[in-house]
Structure 1
Amino acid sequence: MTQTLIIGAGITGAALALQLSWRGEAVTLVSTHAEGGLASTASFGWLNASYFLSRPHYHLRHEGLAAHRRLTEALPGLPTNWQGCLWYEATGEAQEETASDLQALGYQVQRLTQPEIAERLPALGPIPESALFFPEEGVADPATLARALIGASGAQVIRATVQSVTEEKGRATGVLTDLGPLKASRVILATGTGTPGLLEPFGTTLPMLTRPGLMVTTNPLPPVCPVVLATPDQEVRQDAEGRLRTPASAGHQSDHAETLGSFPVVVNATLTRLRTLFPGHDIHFAHQAMAMRPVPGDGLPVVGQGPLPGLWIAVMHSGATLAPVVAELLAEEITGGAESPLLADFRLARFA
């Protein structure tokens, strides 16, 4: 019998598998989808703490960046890059307010003038009057990173669909899958939008927002975007193959849309915005990835002990930024360590 069953093989499950294996735990991952998960494949992969919903959320996200750096030091060759973000989603006084608020929290912020922006991004079409540069930020394709972490963990991976969590005498004892039962000393739900259905039999409600995500990838281009670019109309980055990767919505992180609209219309609108940002380039659609983003009802992570002993939960958006630090802290708790103050505001009990 394995010590730990982690349900879900996206970036959160993968990071947990690594941290628990480093602590000597025997881990098995169970996932309907291939290693890398589903939501992780449709993630923008922007690692940042410039977006946050509360001060505790900021501190957790900021520590998430540090946790990513600890991973890259421990496992050289991970697909994580720290090119920074050039941000002008807000302008004028709102932009200055953002800069001041982040600096007051200790975040690194550089104010750029129009000539400085043009020097950094000569391919950019309309040059804003000013922008902020966040040098601490970077990118990592969560699905690729998840596969690397699973490989480093040595965890067994079982392709199966979990139907329910099993219990005996009020304690989680494993899961029932379409392949049969799997027993374990503990179960961790890194199951994204599938989590509420697994908790419901225990009388526990986890509200989730409806947040579809569509990631568009273009044909390869010459180097045009050396940073994460966050404009009022579009967030975009360029990958190692020269392809632009972009959410099919403006303000992706704070996007409240519950539907995507017609696929051709949405994609064509996204391509139009990209062609405006980088004029003179032949930009066209290459492929897309779509998934429901795992966003709890208040937008904040849900991490920690579940409704019965032996059952743990790790559900969040953005897992790209948060998974490494959540995995560190939750693995410590699971193996007998103290509860982390960083996770105090993100427990399931707040929805009771």
Structure 2
Amino acid sequence: MQILVIGAGVIGAAIAFQLTRRGHEVTILEGQGIAAGASGRSFGWINASYGLSPAHYHLRREGIAAHRRLDGLLPSSPTRWPGCMWFESQGEEQLRFAKELRAMDYPVEEWDQTRIKAALPQLGQSPETALYLPTEGAVDPGELAQRLIAASGGRLWRGIAVHALVETQGKVTGVVTAQGVLGADAVVVAAGTGATALLQTVGVALPMLSRPGLILKTPPLPPVLPLVLWGPGGELRQDNAGRLVMPTAANHQGDAAETISGLASLHADAAMTRLRALLPGVQCDWDEVTLAHRPVPGDGLPVIGAALPGLWLAVMHSGATLAAITAELLAAEIDGKESADLAEFRPNRFS
């Protein structure tokens, strides 16, 4: 089939990669640049220790496994698997969280202070206990998107914005661009926060929440953080270039703020204070702060699957965790194999 994928973020790139592996001819349409939206401004944490429902947890868990499979297919994968140390709370709250994870059969280890200090001697004040989540990983979704598109063999139309979808006798048959109409056998919308306006052109509803987020980065540093940290001061990791990466919201995963008040620099300065408390040996300041509008559908859950004949959707947060599994399942469904794992995430729930 000739398939158009709208959006060159990590979700669209992963879908294009899987579709070309199945023999489809794929064209990716992107109005700006590869990972120009949320994918290029992401914390990049791959995990399933956070979920909004049992089905959401299961999908995220499968997302980790799918990323591992993708590692085996993609030359020089940028994904790393350092695990995560969680010490956001102590005492009963930590015990409750560990019990909750084990009830879902999620791998978790309990570390005492001796083990914590051995793994992270650079911590300013080691907690008495922590949970280590060994299966969790990290990736720069923008870098992953670049590599997936390069490896896919699909065609990329960059700087070509899609203005509308074309519907013919109840089936989506192409897209409208400033240069004209481009036809296809199927269209996949993986356009993040831009999906709603496109879908309105064919009468498909997709409400979205406003979820802006700021991410700071430091200049490249020597290795100081061998795993992902999830502590009371926020979430923190070191990327492949050596830069420390930190959301300015202390609880980025659960952040439900609809707006960001005040200058971005003030938020970055406050987060940097928390970062230095976690790693007092860091001798630098932040040099970049980036705003992303995270694509969060109206009920918080991913939107994956067919919306109309010929039209498929893949809109969600977090793409870092869910890109690989979304691509596998959606590509299989386009080829006619429906997945029960997507039952809770169908687009028609907003009809």
**TM class, shorter-chain normalised?**
over 0.9
Q: Which residue of 2 aligns with 1:279?
A: 280
Q: Which residue of 2 aligns with 1:232?
A: 232
Q: Which residue of 2 aligns with 1:119?
A: 118
Following superposition, the deviation at residue 213 of structure 1 comes to 1.9
238-247 or 227-236: bigger deviation: 238-247
Q: Which residue of 1 aligns with 2:73?
A: 74
Q: Which residue of 2 aligns with 1:250?
A: 250
* Aligned-partner residue type, residue 260 of structure 2: L
Following superposition, the deviation at residue 153 of structure 1 comes to 0.5
Can you list the C-alpha shifts for 1:286-314, whole angstroms capped at 9, x where unaligned? Answer: 223222100011111000011x2101100
Q: Which residue of 1 aligns with 2:294?
A: 293
Q: Please give the secondary structure, in 1, of the residue aligned with 2:245.
A: strand
Can you list the C-alpha shifts for 1:74-121, whole angstroms capped at 9, x where unaligned? Answer: 223110100000011232212111111111211110011122111111
Q: Please give the secondary structure, in 1, of the residue aligned with 2:195.
A: helix
Q: Please give the secondary structure, in 2, of the residue aligned with 1:93.
A: helix
Distance (whole Å) between structure 2 residues aligned to residue 141 and residue 220 of structure 1: 15
* Aligned-partner residue type, residue 295 of structure 1: V
- Runs (4+) of structure 1 exceeding 3 A deviation are none
* Aligned-partner residue type, residue 97 of structure 1: R
Gaps of 5+ in 2: none
Following superposition, the deviation at residue 247 of structure 1 comes to 0.9
Do residues 320 (structure 1) and 325 (structure 2) align?
no
Following superposition, the deviation at residue 223 of structure 1 comes to 2.1
Distance (whole Å) between structure 2 residues aligned to residue 75 and residue 192 of structure 1: 24
Distance (whole Å) between structure 2 residues aligned to residue 33 and residue 97 of structure 1: 45
The equivalences for 1:32-43 within 5 A come to 32-43=31-42
> What CA RMSD, in Å, does the superposition of the two structures yield over aligned residues?
1.2
The equivalences for 1:335-346 within 5 A come to 335-337=335-337, 339-346=338-345
Can you list the C-alpha shifts for 1:109-135, whole angstroms capped at 9, x where unaligned? Answer: 001112211111111112112110000
Gaps of 5+ in 1: none
Q: Which residue of 1 aligns with 2:190?
A: 190
* Aligned-partner residue type, residue 334 of structure 2: I
Q: Which residue of 1 aligns with 2:208?
A: 208
* Aligned-partner residue type, residue 46 of structure 2: L
* Aligned-partner residue type, residue 266 of structure 2: V
* Aligned-partner residue type, residue 229 of structure 2: L
Q: State percent identity of aligned pairs.
A: 52
Q: Which residue of 1 aligns with 2:266?
A: 265
Do residues 93 (structure 1) and 96 (structure 2) align?
no
Following superposition, the deviation at residue 180 of structure 1 comes to 2.0
Q: Which residue of 1 aligns with 2:22?
A: 23
Tell me if structure 1 keeps the 8 A contact 2:140–2:239. Answer: no
Distance (whole Å) between structure 2 residues aligned to residue 37 and residue 233 of structure 1: 28
Tell me if structure 2 keeps the 8 A contact 1:126–1:277. Answer: yes
TM-score (norm 2): 0.97
Can you list the C-alpha shifts for 1:38-94, whole angstroms capped at 9, x where unaligned? Answer: 110111110000011111111100000000000111223110100000011232212
Tell me if structure 2 keeps the 8 A contact 1:64–1:324. Answer: yes
Distance (whole Å) between structure 2 residues aligned to residue 202 and residue 18 of structure 1: 26
Following superposition, the deviation at residue 333 of structure 1 comes to 0.6
Do residues 172 (structure 1) and 172 (structure 2) align?
yes
Distance (whole Å) between structure 2 residues aligned to residue 180 and residue 203 of structure 1: 21
Distance (whole Å) between structure 2 residues aligned to residue 335 and residue 124 of structure 1: 50
Tell me if structure 1 keeps the 8 A contact 2:264–2:289. Answer: no
Tell me if structure 2 keeps the 8 A contact 1:11–1:37. Answer: no
* Aligned-partner residue type, residue 27 of structure 1: V
Tell me if structure 2 keeps the 8 A contact 1:124–1:224. Answer: no
Q: Which residue of 1 aligns with 2:128?
A: 129
Q: Please give the secondary structure, in 2, of the residue aligned with 1:246.
A: strand
Distance (whole Å) between structure 2 residues aligned to residue 115 and residue 259 of structure 1: 41
* Aligned-partner residue type, residue 211 of structure 2: R
Distance (whole Å) between structure 1 residues aligned to residue 281 and residue 100 of structure 2: 37
Distance (whole Å) between structure 1 residues aligned to residue 305 and residue 65 of structure 2: 21
